Structure 1
């Protein structure tokens, strides 16, 4: 995006409808080409929420945040070893 087209992205600037449409189309194309919302936000100097909201308003289908990892299967605890009755380990009780 050219610097002149980025000017409207500064906070407080009121873009014309044409400028806004061009910038949103550019953001949407970048996102659909694989760029993340955070990357686009950094490129245009605006917040993540600003970019996300404009993408949603433009009808963009957002990718999932991340894939959920499957929960580990529950494994019952191993039974503890029987208590040792000898100090030598030879089967005789210590006295």
Structure 2
């Protein structure tokens, strides 16, 4: 990943912040795969269709923040894949 992309990822991680919510790893992998194959819009639709309100809100928020900072699909997928780690503060 390029240095600028990594700087953007740092901002995304900072904005996502930490918290107690733990998300299903299988779901995060499915969202990651969809994001890589079909893009942010398809990943948003998947999240809306597949998750409960707390998970839905947190994953959708992470996707929105990634888009706000114009992360590539690959970088956004890395954020989604590591969302539990990011939320734990161990990133």
Q: Same fold (TM over 0.5)?
A: no
- Give the TM-score normalised by the residue count of structure 1: 0.34
Higher helix share: 2
Higher relative contact order (CA 8 A, sep 6+): 2
